[in-house]
Structure formats: C-alpha cells, structure tokens
Structure 1
Amino acid sequence: MTVMAELELPAYTGLTWDHPRGYNALARAAVDAKGLTLQWDRHSLEGFESAPIGELCDRYDLVVLDHPHVGEAIAADCLIPVEELFGADEIAAWQDAIAGPSLASYHYAGKHWALPLDAATQVMAWRADRIVEAPTTWAELPKLAEGRAVALSLAGPHAILSFQSICGALGAEHANPRDHFMDRATAREAFAIMQALTGDATRAAVAMNPIAMLDAMAAGEGPDLVPLIYGYVNYATRGVRFGDAPRGPTGRIGSILGGTGIGVSRRCKVTPALLDHIRLLMSESVQRGFIPFQDGQPAFRSAWHDPAVNGATGKFFADTLQSIEQAQLRPRHNGAIAFQTEASTLLRAALIDGGDAGSTLDAIERSYRDHHPAGAET
C-alpha cells in the first residue's frame, strides 16, 4: 500500500472511560486495525456514568456507554441500531455467547443499541489479608461490621444501585415498575440494612467511586470489605479478593448489572472495515484470548470459564460469574440517568445524616415518577 493510500484510510474517533479496563484493549486493538484508523479518547468514570449521550455522539463515531443511557440515546436519535449494522444470525450468536443479561441490557424499544464488549456487575470485595472467609449473606454482615471495616459504596449513582441490589436479594424483581420504583415493604427492609452498615467505614469512603475505593483497598488503606461494588479484575492480583454479591434469605444473589457496550453514533460514516473491526472485538478469539490479557473484562461467558484467564486473575471470573448470570437491569427510560443521580443524592444524604426511611422513600418515588415518562418502558 502506498503512503497516499494509507493517508486515505477512513479515520474514526471513539470515546471510552479512563481506566485500564476501559481503554487498554481497545487502544491496542486499534493499532492493528485493518482498513481504517481509530483513535480512542477517554473521559472520567463520572463522565461515563452521567454525561449526556447525545452530546458525546455529536463528537465521536464510537461511544462506550452504560445501559441506563439507551432511553436517552433513543430520544436524542444519536445511535444506529445494531440491527442496521449486523445480521440477525450474528446478533443471535452473540446472545448465546455473552454472560448474563449483558446484551439484553442494550435491547430497548425493539432494538439493540450497543454491543457489550465488557461484562460487570456488583460483587463483594475484601482484603484477603484481613478476612479469611467472607460472608455470603446480608444477614451475616452487621455482625462482621462490629469488628471489621465494612463499607457501603455510596458515591455518585452507587447509593441507589446498592439499594436496588439489596432489594433484589430480598426478592424484588423491579418488573413492570411503570407506576412505582420499588415495593415499599422491600424498600424499607433494604433501607434498614443500609442504615445498619452506615458506620465509620462507610462515612470515611462516602466520596469514593468504585475505582478510588478499590485503589485504597489495594494499597491497604481502604475498608476491609465492601459488600457491593462493581467488580474490577485489575485488582484481583493486588490483595483484593472478589466473590459473589451477598444473598438474601432465600439464597438469591442481589446485583445490578454494569459493564459497557460499544455504540455507533449517527454521525459515523460506517464502512465494511469498521464493522469488521467491531466483529473482531466481539469474536471468541479476542474476547477470550486478547481482552483478558490487556487489563480488560470480557463479555463472553467462555472467557469467564477459561482456566488460563482465571489462573491469571486469582479466579476473579469464576468466583463472580453467578452474580453476572443473575444480575438485574437498571431503568433505561429517557430520564433514567437524572433519576439515578437524584435518587442517589436523596438516599446518601438520608443514610449519612440519619434521615427518616419513610420520607426518603417517598422522595425517591416522586423522583422516579418525575423522571419516568408515562407508559414508557423501564
């Protein structure tokens, strides 16, 4: 190929989040991309969680997003549906290969709006040198907190996400919640569990997002145990152990799905080379043999079972797979991000300041109704 031909390759820009798990595999794969050039930019975890998806798609061809953004993306008409890019047989094959509801999380209003490159959910994390045997149920945690630094993850959206996970462990489905956010009896029980665990360790970590909290734990300076935190394989060989999220009284795991998907913006001039690059990222060979060894956290179930992958990561994947498989989805309607932000602020303030359960839950319900279009999907 001549120098002139190389200069004429289609050029794309992508946006992902600023962490080795979110960036390294994508950037390294882009170096060897065939038939195109691709530059990945990064923004903070907070930007990933809350930045308006329409604004990001105005600036980038490819955007790594979280599933609560899909309703907002549809309202802004800023993403190309996956069904317009790939065949039904390809999508069905990905559905069979991907762990838990990761692909389903991007299916909304009859179409998929992103492909999950990365699978994650809330799991339990603890310092292996301080806790020999971690608890497996919510009932065990208050006793452990009497002698160990047990902290809830409450920063940013994580207060309401932890609340939803506890509700899930207690049996809530969050099914068809078009009239209300959460069953009140379950919500009260979940609030009481969070109140019981809002001690000194939680207060000390209240401003820490999951990355900051895991950084502190890896350095030996954070809490001894966090019962619900989004799993990051990058810390599994740095003194932090991971296991499934706590179970409720019937043995059910409560965890709210995270992970990331790659979406193609409306501004993007799609070429066969770009689609082939996305296919490569979503292939068995890359998901299982490349991404886990580039600081990534693949979406394919086969990678989570792979002995070599688990051998290199302290069994992170094998020890947390059931949390992925049983994970529940967050609301995804247009307005879900605003609700998530407001509800977390309300809940976090109530826990830290000793607020009343009833009035706090009333305010969260009002926020849900305010930010949820009548009759919209969740």
Structure 2
Amino acid sequence: MQRLEALTWDHPRGYNALAAAARLPALTESGLSIAWDKQPLEGFESHPIADLCARYDLVVLDHPHVGEAVAGECLRPLEEVFGIEVIARIEADCIGPSLASYRFAGSHWALPLDAATQVMACRADLTDGLAPVTWDEVAALSALTGKVALSLAGPHAILSFLSIATAYGEPPAEADLDILVSPATGKAVYDLMFDLAHRSPLSAREKNPIGILQHMSSHDDVILCPLVYGYVNYAAPGHGRPIAFHNAPRQSVGGRPGSTLGGTGIGISRRCPITPELKTHLLWLMSPEAQIGFIPGHEGQPSLRAAWHDAGVNARWGRFYENTAETLEVAYVRPRHNGYIAFQTRASALLRRAFDTRAPAQGVIDQLQTIYCEHRVAGGER
C-alpha cells in the first residue's frame, strides 16, 4: 500500500470532499492511501510553501504562492506529470482563470480543485432582498445604515484595494509591471475604503472571511460585505441565517465587477512518488462526475464551469454559483512572483494602520508603490 501525506486548510470547503474521496473503496483497492491533514486559513495564506512541501506529498495552495514554489523548486510542473494535452483540456473546462492562475515560468503548478473569488455577501432578509450593484450604492447603504463591513483582516485589506482598482478600470500591475496603480486611481480607491472602513462595524474588523460570514449568519449588525471570498456553505447553512451572494460591485452599471481571484489548487511536491494510481485519482477529482456531483455533495466548491451552471447544484446551494459566476469569469489574478506574499502582508498592515491614523491618501499610495517595488525586485518577476 502506498501512503501519501497531504495537507489542506481547515474548513469544510477545503477538507470534506478531499477526505471523503480518500475514503472511497476504489482508491484503497488501487493500493493508494492518502491521509489529509489540516492547517488554519491563516497558515494557508502565509506559511512558506517550501516548508510544507518538505513534509507533505500533496499540498493545497493558493496561486500567489507559485512564484515562491518555483524559486524553492519544491513542486512538480503539471505538464511533467499529466502531459500538455491533458492540462490544456482542463484549463478550457475551468471557470475563469482558475487554472491559468497557477501558470508561472512556463508551466502550471497546481490542479484547481476549488474556485473562488471575492463577491458580495448580504443578508437578504435585512436588505429587502436587494443588493447594491455599484460602489456608489455600497457607499450610500453604508452611510444610511452603518452596517456595511469591509474585509480587512490578514491579507484582505490589500486584496480589497486590488479589487476596487480593477472595478475602477485599472487592474493593478497589468499595464505596467513596475506600477501597482496610478496615483489617481489609488487615491480614489483609498478614499472609498477609508470612508467604508470608518463606518464598518467593529465586530467584523478582526475577522477573516470565514469569521465575517459566520458573524453575518448569526448577528444583525452586518447586513452587507461588498467584497468577501465566497463560501458556498453559508448560502444554505445547517445553522444560522442564509447569506445571499451576488456579483462584486462595479464602478458603474454594466462595468466589470472588480474582484481578486482566490480558490485553491492541489500541488504535487517533489518528494511525492508519481504513480498511475495517483494520477487517476487526481484527474478524477477534476472530472465532471466529481466536480458536479461528489465535490458539491461534500461541501466543496468546484472549479469546472459546467458545475457553476448546473441547475441541480444551484438549486441545492441557494443559486450561489450562477449569481456570482460572472465575477469569477473576469476575476483579477494577482502577481505571483517570489516575494508577492510578503508584499501582501506588509501592504495590508499599512492600509489598516493608515485607516486607523487617518493618513492622507497620497502618502499611503506612495508607500504601497515602494513596498511593491521592493518585493518585486527582491523576488524577481517572471
């Protein structure tokens, strides 16, 4: 019996389907055993990937870690394991940039088992079933109620900044890799976030996305979070009030919903022995059978486009998928150079501190640019 050690993150969306798949009789009969461990969400977002790959055969990771992984030479390229044609087929079937986001330095480095991006979450029972469409409408609801929360903990302050800049027509560092965002767009985004942050309920300030959604499902002081990573589990919860999910806000009606891609992928570490049984199991996880039936049936969040538009999946999960698919299709993909994760951590801390001290916009934007350049040069963009 071949036994593999594997690591995912500690939430039903990240663990249940993988653990259930590892218990399938067909896997055991093939001579393969996979033991899935869990780490907290914060570790998933920031723990050095090379250290995890030294201890595990399979590692669930976020795409911004791929530059760090390539620099550390700790993951196997998928093309080496499955072949170019198989990876091209999976990429065509995945929603939005779910697989493309794991491409770096000429190869793909993780299978996108799970797709997610920032979307709008609201308590439909407290908003008369209506949700804002534009950022102006979000700001108006915030001023009216004081019950609109920004997701600012951990890396999420800068992720929200990147998303709003994308909605405002300037996806960060896309037109020019050396420029995070122009001064004009940066100021507009900062001013909006500053106003929202100062009206945001304190109860949500220190919470990660899971914490915010859990709070919303059981308390009435947060009726809307305009940008939070979507968790299908809260659309039809076993306990608490259901959360209604919608596309991320736009600058104007008909504009691009600004959102920063999340999701998770299964990376194969260099220590992992590649066998036909392992390849069969991983490709089954990416199959329509698993993505439309098995994974949603075990509280997972699939990455195949067909699953996001499946009528049965949507009926079971409060139309979460069809209500947010547009946002995922056009989600912004973060830089992935080695050093980006460190930038993300520093930039979020800078924004939180700036909101607390009421720092002027221009100085903050200049500091974000400086931090971005420091980590881009240190890590090397590829």
Interval containing the TM-score (normalised by the shorter chain): over 0.9
Of 276, 292, 295, the match for 1:288? 292
1:192 & 1:147 partners in 2: Cα distance? Answer: 18
Measured after TM superposition, the shift of residue 200 of structure 1 is: 4.0
Percent identity among equivalent residues? 53
| Residue of structure 2 in register with 1:191 after alignment | 190
- Structure 1, residues 100-126: CA drift from partner, whole Å, max 9, x if none? 001000000100011100000000001
Q: Deviations over 1:342-361 (max 9, x none)?
A: 00000111113211111111
- The residue number in structure 2 matching 1:14 is 6
Give the Cα separation in 2 of the matches to 1:217 and 1:17. Answer: 22
The number of residues matched between the two structures is 370
Choose from 118, 121, 130 the match for 2:114: 118
Q: Return the match for 2:141 from 140, 144, 147.
A: 144
4+ residue segments displaced more than 6 Å: none
Question: Which deviates further from its counterpart, 29-38 or 161-170?
Answer: 29-38
What aligned pairs does 1:210-225 form with structure 2 within 5 A after superposition? 210-225=209-224
Deviates more, 1:160-169 or 1:184-193: 184-193
Which residue pairs with 2:244 in the alignment?
Answer: 241
The answer (yes or no) to whether the contact 2:91–2:99 under 8 Å persists in 1 is: yes
Q: Aligned with 2:170: secondary structure?
A: coil
Matches of 2:88 and 2:199, distance apart in 1? 48
Select between 333-342 and 124-133 the one with higher mean Cα deviation.
124-133
What is the CA-CA distance between 1:196 and the residue it aligns to? Answer: 1.6
User: 1:204 & 1:359 partners in 2: Cα distance?
Assistant: 28
Aligned partner of 2:160 in structure 1 is: 162
Q: Which runs of 5+ in 1 are unaligned?
A: 1-8
Any conservation in 2 of the 1:334–1:373 contact (CA below 8 Å)? no
Q: Distance in 2 between matches of 1:234 and 1:222?
A: 21
* Distance in 2, Cα, partners of 1:177 & 1:14: 38
Match of 1:23 among 8, 15, 18: 15
CA gap 1:222/1:266 in 2 versus in 1, 3 angstroms: farther
Give matches, 1:63-74, under 5 Å. Answer: 63-74=59-70
Amino acid in structure 2 at the alignment position of 1:247:
R
The Cα shift of 1:269 comes to 1.2
Amino acid in the other structure paired with 1:68: P
Offset, 1:375: 9.4
Matched, 1:81 2:85: no
Q: Which moved more, 1:201-210 or 1:24-33?
A: 201-210
Letter of the 1:192 partner, please give it. D
In structure 2, the partner of 1:49 is 45
Q: Which residue of 2 aligns with 1:134?
A: 131
- Residue 34 of structure 2 is aligned to residue 38 of structure 1: yes
Using the TM superposition, name which of 234-243 and 169-178 deviates more.
Answer: 169-178
Q: 1:246: how far off?
A: 0.2
Q: What is the 5 A alignment of 1:287-306? A: 287-306=291-310
SS in 2 for 1:302: helix
CA distance in 1 between counterparts of 2:83 and 2:236 reads 39
Check the 8 A contact 1:79/1:265 in 2, yes or no: yes
Contact kept? 1:16, 1:23, Cα under 8 Å: yes
| Secondary structure in 2 matching 1:199 | helix
Could you tell me how far apart the structure 2 residues matched to 1:170 and 1:203 are? 27
Check conservation: 2:307, 2:313, Cα contact below 8 A.
yes
Q: Which secondary structure state, in structure 1, belongs to the residue aligned with residue 144 of structure 2?
A: coil
> Partners in 1 of 2:12 and 2:119 — Cα distance?
19
CA contact (8 A) 1:123 1:323 kept: yes
Amino acid at match of 1:307: A
Q: Aligned AA for 1:107?
A: R
Q: Note the C-alpha offset of 1:376.
A: 3.8
Partner of residue 6, structure 1: none
Give me the TM-score of the superposition, normalised by structure 2. Answer: 0.94
Instruction: Look up the equivalent residue of 2:224 and give its one-letter code.
Output: L
Verify the 8 A CA contact 2:338 2:381 in the aligned structure 1: no
Q: Which amino acid aligns with 1:108?
A: F
Q: Is 1:328 aligned with 2:332?
A: yes
Letter in 2 for 1:236: A
Q: In structure 2, what residue type is equivalent to 1:248?
A: Q
Residue pair 2:113, 2:264 contacting (<8 A) in 1 also: yes
Three-state SS of the structure 2 residue aligned to 1:78 is: coil
Rounded Cα–Cα distance in structure 2 between residues aligned with 1:161 and 1:71: 18
Please report the RMSD computed on the Cα atoms of aligned residues, expressed in angstroms: 1.3
What do the CA deviations read for 1:255-304 (whole angstroms, capped 9, x no partner)?
00000000000111111111111011111100111101100000000000
Secondary structure at the aligned position of 2:332 is classed as coil
Unmatched 5+ residue regions in structure 2?
Answer: none
The answer to whether the 8 A contact 2:339-2:378 is kept is no
* Distance across 1 between alignment mates of 2:113 and 2:331: 17
The code of the aligned residue for 2:269 comes to: S
One-letter identity of the residue aligned with 1:355: A
Distance in 2 between residues matched to 1:30 and 1:235, nearest whole Å:
25
TM-score by length of 1: 0.95
- Measured after TM superposition, the shift of residue 337 of structure 1 is 0.3
* Partner deviation per Cα, 1:185-236 (whole Å, 9 max, x = no partner): 1111111110121134344311100000101111125511000000000000
Residue 176 to residue 54, structure 1, CA distance change in 2 (3 Å): farther
Could you say what secondary structure the match of 1:252 adopts?
Answer: coil
